[in-house]
Homo-oligomer: A and B are copies of this chain.
């Protein structure tokens, strides 16, 4: 009885599992905390370590790319078939800060395995999910007998993701030619649950602004003047209250222009997910759901644009009371955007709307900060189909589709490279990203290896490079 390709892959992974985990543990011992200046050398060491490991894996090219901040790693393994599609894998090698005293049961930078889980800062976010590509591509070669991957494989592993990726877009623009790809696979994400493998098909974008409202030149006495002059805190509150209509839809004229609506198929697929509202509320630490009329909770956080107040402030906020009309007030707003929305047009709509709301005697100052575009890959995109098939083979069950409500630098890759972005992750909500006792489930980590072992062949078979 000859071996199936899948059993070859599984055997190969089983044989190399111990060395793979040893290597990952070595990497996890490097505290590559990008947000802490005293770890700058560790972030550099982490980049050097990864570049060396990728060379050892077989990547002919593996370079450390400097930025004005922390370095990124770029690696490339061309396919011997020039017609094969090019895939760029994105991940990051920096990690969140962590200290034993934050509530860790073991040293955050001393990986340990307990109950088939690997505990360490970065185990899931994102070193584990970057590292499964090394064993994955080796298993792919072993199972197919190839000497090069079935696709042109590129990796870009940045070093500042946990610090807000301040130099990422510039880096991508600088190296746009070498990064050129037919599709981007983001390997820094999760799936629905241990039992429900999913592929994420898109991410919301983001526009952020601060609106400052100036009234009296200084705080004034509310007894002498209150009730007869406009109050900037009232104006700020009214602005916020006017953000939504009675159906919880954003009431800014033009805000929904161009929004790509959910298809019936997408809504069906979302509805098939084993969503438990009570469990979701526990994760949200919230006590009720509330949102745009006509949409489910998942649709609201994944596929609908929002306007949210992140902060509001004005006047006296200390203990007791102070009878003033405040001189100024401030609101910080963020808008999550979905496919079809352009942050620049949203900014224009918000400015026009806000200025129109503000009463005479109040001066309005609006500052927008860095925007992130939304990204969305249609369900029928061949690369997405390949990812779903590869994952389905690895997990032995049908794969479902999700989206991500947050926003990330992957959108810059879509923007600059003009390639669709897919999200392949094996992390689960309990992995504790950014929290104490971050872990990765070893079984899922190895399913990640297996998924990529199938993916490159599937992609090459079903999708050709379209120049």
Contact = CB atoms under 8 A, between A and B. Distances in A.
A215 B237 CA distance: 17
Given A285-B218, A326-B309, A406-B224, A230 B290 contact: yes
A418 to B, nearest CB: 24
A62 B170 CA distance: 81
Interface string A188-220: 000000000000000010101010000111101
Contacts of A329: 312
Nearest to A434: B221
A237 B312 contact: yes
B321 A332 contact: yes
* Copies of this subunit: 2
Given A233-B312, A309-B234, A228 B332 contact: no
Interface residues of A, number: 80
A330 B312 CA distance: 9
Contacts of A312: 233, 236-237, 312-315, 317, 329
A323 to B, nearest CB: 5
A314 B230 CA distance: 21
A131 to B, nearest CB: 25
Contacts of A291: 227-229
A363 B286 CA distance: 11
B297 A310 contact: no
Given A286-B216, A290-B361, A361-B287, A308 B231 contact: yes
Interface string A225-244: 11111110110111111111
A413 B449 CA distance: 82
Contacts of A404: 223
Nearest to A287: B361
A53 to B, nearest CB: 32
B315 A311 contact: yes
A147 interface: no
Interface string A404-417: 11110000000000
A227 B325 contact: no
Nearest to A323: B334
Contacts of A210: 321
A288 interface: yes
A292 interface: yes
Contacts of A241: 234, 237-238, 240-242
Contacts of A253: none
Interface centre among A226, A289, A297, A304 (most CB of B within 10 A): A226
A288 B361 contact: yes
A233 B240 contact: yes
Given A206-B323, A221-B406, A322-B311, A306 B230 contact: no
B285 A216 contact: yes
A289 B405 contact: no
A297 B208 contact: no
Interface in A54-69: none
A284 interface: yes
A366 interface: no
A234 B226 contact: no
A354 interface: no
Nearest to A210: B321
Interface centre among A290, A297, A405 (most CB of B within 10 A): A290
A126 to B, nearest CB: 17
Nearest to A243: B234
A336 interface: yes
A223 to B, nearest CB: 3
Nearest to A282: B217
Contacts of A322: 310-311, 332
16 contacts: A221-B406, A222-B334, A224-B284, A225-B405, A227-B336, A228-B289, A233-B312, A236-B312, A286-B361, A288-B361, A310-B316, A311-B326, A316-B332, A317-B330, A320-B369, A321-B334
Interface of A: 204, 206, 208, 210, 215-218, 220-231, 233-234, 236-244, 281, 284-292, 297, 300-301, 304-306, 308-317, 320-326, 329-332, 334, 336, 359-363, 369, 404-407
